[in-house]
Structures are given as C-alpha cells and as structure tokens.
Amino acid sequence: MFRTSWIDYIHGLQDRICAALEAEDGQARFHEDAWQRAEGGGGRTRVIANGAVFEKGGVNTSVVFGPVTDAMRTHLRIDGANWFACGLSLVLHPRNPFVPTVHCNYRMFELSDDAGHVTDRWFGGGTDLTPYYLFDEDARHFHGVYKDVCDRFDPAFYPNFKKACDDYFVNTHRSGERRGIGGIFYDYQRATPDKPTEFWMNFGMACGDAFIEAYGPIVARRKEMPYTDENRHWQEIRRGRYTEFNLVHDRGTLFGLKTGGRIESILMSLPPTVRFEYDHRPSPGSPEDDLLQACLHPRDWLETPLSDEERAEWARRSNSC
C-alpha cells in the first residue's frame, strides 16, 4: 500500500513540476528518456536544455530494487536481503546568473527479507537553493515556505532540518564552504508511535508540493535581469563548487554509482559549463563576496520575518506560477 501510494505521488509530482517549469521557461520543453534497470525497476529521466531560462536541468523519477550487495553493506552501511527505493530528484541550472540553481529530492527506501517482508523503511529528502548573487528577500521567501510546511507537522522540524541542510551541503575540503544558502534536509526518518509511516509520507508529499511555491516566484522575479560577462564568469566559478560537492560528497551520487545506477541520470545534476581557477577570491565587499560569506557562515534567514505586504507579494507571484 505504501509503495503504491508513494510511487503514484512521485510520478504525479514530476508531471506537475515539469509543466510549471516549461511554462516559466516559455521556450524549451522536457525530453523524456524512460529507462529500465536490468537488476530491477527503472525510471523516467526528463531533461530540459538551452531554454530561455533553464540552460540545463532535469526532473527525474526512479522506482528501483534489487538484492543488497556487499558493496552496499560496506559503503552505504545497510543490511538485509533486498532493497527498494522510489523518489524524485531534480536539479535546475538557469542561464541568468541572478536566478539561483535549485536542487530537490524526496524518496522512500525499504529493506526486506528473503520472504519479501519489509524489515526497515525510511524517508528522506529536502530542497536547497544555490544562488550566485544574494538577494535577502529571495532567501527569506524560500526558507519561509519550507518553515511553514515544517511547522504544520512539527515546530522543531524547520530549525533541525535547516541545520542538517547547512551541515550536509558543504565542501568540507574548502574550510566548510557551503554549496549555497540551504533550505531543509532530512534523512533516515522512520516510523515511531507518534509519527507513523503515514506521517512521514504526508510530510514528504507536503514538501514536494511546496517546491513550485518556493522556487517559481524567484525565477519569475530574476529571469529578465540584465547581466554581464563578469556575472557569468562568477556563476561558472560557483558552478565549479557545485560540481565538487556532487562528485566528492553527495550520498545520492555515491548510492547511484554503488548500486549500478544509470550514469546519465546520476550525472544529470552537473552544470553545463564550469570554471576551476586557481585560488580565485572575490573582492572584499563585492556582491560576489557577499554570497561567499553567506556560504561560509550560514545565516538565520528568518530572523526578521517577512512583512504582511511581502508575504502577499510572494503569494501573488506564487499563484501566477
């Protein structure tokens, strides 16, 4: 029952997000590549490229399963006879440096014994924002949307999951430099007497449903801002940091590689163009340095809540997406 409900939701979410993003871009359309996995299951990889807004992006779903291998036990620290995973994962790399990159992932994972009985089940996911230039109002809106979702389920969720996001999406090899300005992130959430499986499934669905509300108005507000070659140069520097995290630290990437995942789907998250320049440092006090400082020192974006007028403006933009 849980598998069927979650699979149906994930596929529907993919359809709704892709439709909204195509409308926002106004030019490009998603290309779907349906694939099957020899070991069990398959997925729908949907890619958008060379659009008016989105230079590259993907909204992928997968329903995959198979036997637990020795490599999975060693590298992923899981045990059992068989595993099952279903989720949606998206990454969008806009062309305009003033529109942030965004990542979103919501998933359910199960382990079962040889007889097919589920022995463990957990949920994980999150949505995080990676701007190239910092606009406080964008950050406050984005974080505010997910705080509202979290608060409907448990007031402790947002501060805990916001911190987990700041602590996870970090290039530890660069003195604790975060990939972006975060959002929420949670993993290994199992059923308890007060929070049964239905609770975590409903929470994941609410977070997935909030994606367009959180991200769409930011795209609409920034996508027509004029930019320079220097702005693009900085964007590609920061895209390099994004690439470093995904290839060095990201557990989802490692899971896909260790389970024989489809390489085109796994590496879909990488940006189309990047720069790796030796010891690049932005000028102190510049807009580029402001972004870097926010990545080095995570902020409480909701310390000053949005005013009623600001919330109404963001809501208007959300309704138009």
Q: Domains in the chain, ordered, with CATH?
A: 2-320 (3.40.1500.10)
How much is the pTM? Answer: 0.92
- Active-site residues, by number, are 103
Measure CA of the first residue to CA of the last residue in the chain; give whole Å: 33
Instruction: Name the residue among 209, 211, 229, 223 with its Cα closest to residue 27.
Output: 223
- Over residues 255-305, the pLDDT tens digits come to 777 767 778 878 888 999 999 999 999 999 999 999 999 999 999 999 877
Helical ranges in 223-307 per DSSP H: 229-248, 251-258, 263-266, 287-296
- The amino acid present at 251, given as its one-letter code, is R
Map residue 267 onto helix, strand or coil. helix
Q: Count CA atoms closer than 13 A to 314's CA, side-chain side.
A: 21
Mind listing the pLDDT tens digit of every residue in the chain (321 residues)? 899 999 999 999 999 999 999 999 999 999 999 999 888 999 999 999 999 999 999 999 999 999 988 877 776 677 788 999 999 999 999 999 999 999 999 999 999 988 888 999 999 999 999 999 999 999 999 999 999 999 999 999 999 999 999 999 999 999 999 999 999 999 999 999 999 999 999 999 999 999 999 999 999 999 999 999 999 999 999 999 999 999 888 887 877 777 677 788 788 889 999 999 999 999 999 999 999 999 999 999 998 777 777 777 777 766 666
